[in-house]
């Protein structure tokens, strides 16, 4: 009787196991890439909102010390921001801290200094 060439059942099972492990690793990598892209988008958009709030504070004609909160829409999302204005050791300077968050948590922070009102 002539011997037939081909794979045995055990060889096929081993090949399928190796292929499935490789496929699972690729799926995991793809999911992590998507999550990373989402985090980058959140940080970028949150940073834009923080920059906008900081610029508004930098060019405002009069600023008093204290904390202000507000909300902005950007990128189809709602962003909550907090701006805290505090005195520094230098009586001529104010420190402005801006924190931005979305529904999921902290997204961005910015700090700037400006001259006290003339």
Cα dihedral across residues 32, 33, 34, 36: positive or negative: positive
Evaluate whether residue 4 is within a structural domain: no
Q: What is the pLDDT of residue 34?
A: 87
Indicate the SS3 state at residue 68. strand
Burial 15-37 (b: 16+ CB within 10 A, else e): eeeeeeeeeeeeeeeeeeeeeee
Q: How many domains does the chain have?
A: 1
The pLDDT mean for the chain works out to 89
Rounded alpha-carbon distances, angstroms, from residue 110 to 7, 23, 37, 93? 63, 42, 22, 16
Evaluate whether residue 2 is within a structural domain: no
> Is 0.75 surpassed by the pTM of this model?
no
> What CATH number is given to the structural domain containing 109?
3.30.1300.30
The answer to whether the CB of 114 falls within 8 A of the CB of 94 is yes
Q: Which domain holds residue 33?
A: 9-115
Evaluate whether residue 105 is within a structural domain: yes
Please state the rounded mean pLDDT for residues 30-36: 87
Percentage of residues of the chain with pLDDT beyond 90 = 58
Evaluate whether residue 99 is within a structural domain: yes
Evaluate whether residue 110 is within a structural domain: yes
Task: Determine the Cα–Cα distance for residues 51 and 73; give it in Å rounded to an integer.
Answer: 14
Evaluate whether residue 1 is within a structural domain: no
Evaluate whether residue 3 is within a structural domain: no
- Reply yes or no on whether the pLDDT at 1 is more than 70: no
Evaluate whether residue 81 is within a structural domain: yes
């Amino acid at each position: 009787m002539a011997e037939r060439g081909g794979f045995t059942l055990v060889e096929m099972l081993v090949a399928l196991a190796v292929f499935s492990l490789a496929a699972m690793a690729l799926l995991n990598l793809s999911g992590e890439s998507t999550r990373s892209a989402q985090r980058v988008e959140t940080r970028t958009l949150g940073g834009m909102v923080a920059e906008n709030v900081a610029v508004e504070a930098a060019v405002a004609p009069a600023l008093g010390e204290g904390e202000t909160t507000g909300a902005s829409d950007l990128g189809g999302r709602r962003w909550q921001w907090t701006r805290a204005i505090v005195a520094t050791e230098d009586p001529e300077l104010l420190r402005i801290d801006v924190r931005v968050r979305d529904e999921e948590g902290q997204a961005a922070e910015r700090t700037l200094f400006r001259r006290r009102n003339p």
